[in-house]
A and B are shown apart, each in its own frame.
Chain A
């Protein structure tokens, strides 16, 4: 567990030194979400209907933005080697890094989402569900994205390639996440969606760090 602790505190400290990056992610999130009404019209009923989906897609893209730098800078300055040779298991410190990444991107997105929901005229209970779904879903995005980020370390066309790898894997999270808020808006129970998201989070949290670990070993080889 010490590996998780040092990686987490280190990455969080680094993120804290550059709050601008997290702010940029948030600005992107809000900006893209505000482009949709301009593109599809400001009909309140239409917006309320597409709101959850649009906000989820925007959150997904915003969460994706920070991924390329998750391992790349540590790879470039040699820290990743030192981490790989540390006494702690690779999955432990990888989990710490992913947790820190989520705390600096996924959590702010989640906290901001009710505001966007209001802009789209979502009812109050749908706002709560949207927040809950993002709270469960964005960590999964961070985990899956981390695996893809580790795979593309040192690859040509890094960012685009990462998008091609990661976005298809995000499909289930999007479906269940947006579905939860839509179900609430339609007067149905969101709990099946949220349970599935929670189950997905548990499975991803215990399995993905190992995949990331092997991807990093491959990258350093």
Chain B
């Protein structure tokens, strides 16, 4: 078996089919454990009360939103440098999951902000750059689907993801700078150090989100492969069995 064995779409299709359920199960188990620790075992926060528990969804989602963009850009770079179709398909498969986590992070943030800060939305540096990140994801998805020739979309979107990853720190930095200039909302998390069970729950939820992201993108990449290779013999053979 050589390095490129799994880079053939038909091999990877089968491999992804076998791996995806495993990752889904792993995600479910980790999420169940995380939710148990987070919702049952973790103590009530002294300042925020029960509402802080949204952190167990919010923070993992925010982490994953950035991490997935990074992974997506790595796949994009691989797709362009090695001209490998599968990397581009993986980047394409990751984008909706990343966008979903970004949206969840913003959504839960708003519902956390309402009781704690008294408002759904503040133009805080992190929230604003998360919003920009959502637009970067949407741009990637839109660009990858904007061409008749799917490989054209693959390559254009791969290049866009690289441009995005270079710009993301600059965007974050600029928004932070802007935020300190507009002394409007100087909101910090409560100063209390984090309880160890809270940290455990958050890590468990993060791993659950990670496993879910892998599983979801594997399932999605399978449908991308099928769509691309619909004329290939091995796909037509699949239909017969």
Contact = CB atoms under 8 A, between A and B. Distances in A.
* Any A–B CB pair closer than 8 Å: yes
Interface of A: 147-148, 151-152, 154-157, 161, 164-165, 167-169, 171-172, 175-176, 179, 182-183, 200, 211, 214-215, 218-219, 221
A154 B173 CA distance: 33
Interface of B: 80, 132, 135-136, 138-139, 142-143, 146-147, 152, 155-156, 159-160, 162-164, 167, 170-171, 173-175, 177-178, 181
Contact of B156 (A164, A179, A182, A215): A215
A179 B178 contact: yes
A214 B80 contact: yes
A169 B163 contact: yes
A165 B163 CA distance: 10
Contact of A165 (B80, B143, B171, B173): B143
Contacts of A171: 132, 171, 174-175
A60 to B, nearest CB: 14
B136 A168 contact: yes
B155 A218 contact: yes
Contacts, number: 77
B139 A175 contact: no
Contacts of B178: 175, 179
Contacts of B132: 168, 171
Contacts of B143: 151-152, 155, 161, 165
In the A-B complex, list the 6 residue pairs whose CB atoms are closest, starting with the nearest. Answer: A172-B174, A155-B146, A175-B174, A168-B135, A175-B178, A165-B139
A183 B177 CA distance: 12
Nearest to A154: B147
Given A155-B146, A175-B174, A147 B163 contact: yes
Given A215-B156, A221-B155, A172 B171 contact: yes
Contacts of B156: 151-152, 155, 215, 218-219
B159 A211 contact: yes
A154 B153 CA distance: 10
Contacts of B152: 154, 218-219, 221
A151 B174 contact: no
Given A151-B159, A219-B152, 15 more contacts: A148-B160, A152-B143, A155-B156, A156-B147, A164-B142, A165-B160, A168-B136, A171-B171, A171-B174, A171-B175, A172-B171, A172-B173, A175-B178, A221-B152, A221-B155
Contacts of A152: 143, 146, 156
Nearest to A200: B170
Nearest to B173: A172
Contact of B163 (A179, A200, A211, A219): A211
A152 B163 CA distance: 14
A169 B163 CA distance: 9
Contacts of A147: 163
A175 B146 contact: no
A175 B125 CA distance: 12
Which of B136, B160, B162 has the most chain A CB atoms inside 10 A of its CB? B160
Nearest to B155: A218
Given A152-B143, A165-B139, A211-B163, A183 B181 contact: yes
